[in-house]
Amino acid sequence: MNSRNQLPMTPSLTSRLPAVGTTVFTRMSALAAQAGAVNLGQGFPDFGCERSLIGAVNAAMEADFNQYPMMSGAPVLRHAIGAKIAALYGHQYDVDSEITVTAGATQALTTAILCSVHPGDEVIVIEPVYDSYVPAITLAGGVAVAVEMEVGAKGYAVPWTKVAAAVNGKTRMIVINTPHNPTSSVLRAADMQALADIVRGTNVLILSDEVYEHMVYDGQRHESVSRHPELAARAFVVSSFGKTYHVTGWKIGYVAAPAALMAEFRKVHQYNVFSVNTPMQHGIASYMADPKPYLELPAFYQRKRDLFRDGLKNTRFELLPADGTYFQCVRYDRVSSRTEAEFAEWLTTEIKVAAIPVSAFYQQGKESGVVRFCFAKKDETLALALERLATV
């Protein structure tokens, strides 16, 4: 019999994600704030979005677009997304049955995995791998099978022969990410052909994370899976308005997929978020009438990339190629023999510039002597960071 003075008991809980703790992004951002460091760790801009985008959202609120939208997304936004994909990549998705607006790209990625992967299914991921993929696979009861990227003079590349060797009868999905976080590499047409050769004649799905689709540099084009009909026919393609329009905190993205796949996606989507912020959907749709903001994004970020790389050229860091995204990876072996986590912490506390250890993107924490910086920052922020990094 319980004593009246006994504290109420909280039942024990068996974790669905026992290996997951606080993310490296949260830890390094907290350390950066504590140390007063320039935060080039977590991937978000420190500058504002266009005021006209905020005006478009405000106008949508004033027009009383404030109730639940359709579960699949406001039709006006789905039409704008479909028109953009058709114009850029030449693929016409049916806006009613093949495009869904999501609460950010992470929700889109997780929902695509949850609707597709059953217990015991294998999902191939490419390491270093963005940190949300594997937990989502685990929640679905699937098994993540990692294939490591190879690193050479031209930077990181996917070893497609090893991907092909990893495919077997249990393989349900291959997850790709281009442009790639954290390595800043991009997949080319030859990569897409290699992937098509691997999955042809199988029931393997593709989940293509393309949130940095408008950040591809040096005149290269983004090889969206949507460009390649053979791949698009078996793929969920994910993108993010937060990345494209400098509003990461809005958490609005979308997924495009063939109708049969989208029907299953929406079954899960309707029960984990149902729908997404209505006035922001209408505001973004209005803003998308002018394609200039995303068409000019490669030049906008390439200038920042070049400014940052030029500032690092005379330091002891070794620059790795940065063909896409707003990240720059560097080797630091001429600076320190510390592990990547130790070096990132030292850089944050002593040099006052925060970075992310790339080892955090490997399930087994592989050490490569590489850290990642984010250059999606004001010029003055980058200048201050470069001034401090020059002392290393």
Alpha carbon distance 266, 258 (integer Å):
12
Residue tagged 């008991």 (tokens) = 9
Contact criterion met (CB below 8 Å) for 330 and 319: yes
Alpha carbon distance 78, 232 (integer Å):
18
- So what's the pLDDT on residue 23? 82
Residue tagged 């994370």 (tokens) = 209
What's the rounded mean pLDDT across residues 91-107?
Answer: 98
Alpha carbon distance 153, 262 (integer Å):
40
- Quickly state the pLDDT bin for 6 (edges 50, 70, 90): confident
Q: Which of 97, 119, 141 is nearest to 265 (CA)?
A: 97
What's the rounded mean pLDDT across residues 10-26?
Answer: 89
- So what's the pLDDT on residue 22? 79
Query: Which residues, 6 or more positions from 350, have their beta carbon under 8 angstroms from its beta carbon?
Result: none
Instruction: Tell me the average pLDDT of the chain.
Output: 96
Digit-coded pLDDT (tens) for 221-231: 999 999 999 99
Task: Confirm whether pTM is higher than 0.75.
Answer: yes
- CA 135-138-144 angle, to 5 degrees, is 90
Domains annotated on the chain, with CATH: 24-43+295-389 (3.90.1150.10), 51-289 (3.40.640.10)
Kind and range of the H or E element at 382? helix 379-389
Digit-coded pLDDT (tens) for 228-270: 999 999 999 999 999 999 999 999 999 999 999 999 999 999 9
- So what's the pLDDT on residue 190? 98
pLDDT at residue 309 greater than cutoff 70:
yes
- So what's the pLDDT on residue 239? 98
pLDDT at residue 1 greater than cutoff 60:
no
- CA 288-112-101 angle, to 5 degrees, is 25
- Quickly state the pLDDT bin for 4 (edges 50, 70, 90): low
Digit-coded pLDDT (tens) for 57-91: 999 999 999 999 999 999 999 999 999 999 999 99
Contact criterion met (CB below 8 Å) for 207 and 238: yes
DSSP tag of 64: T
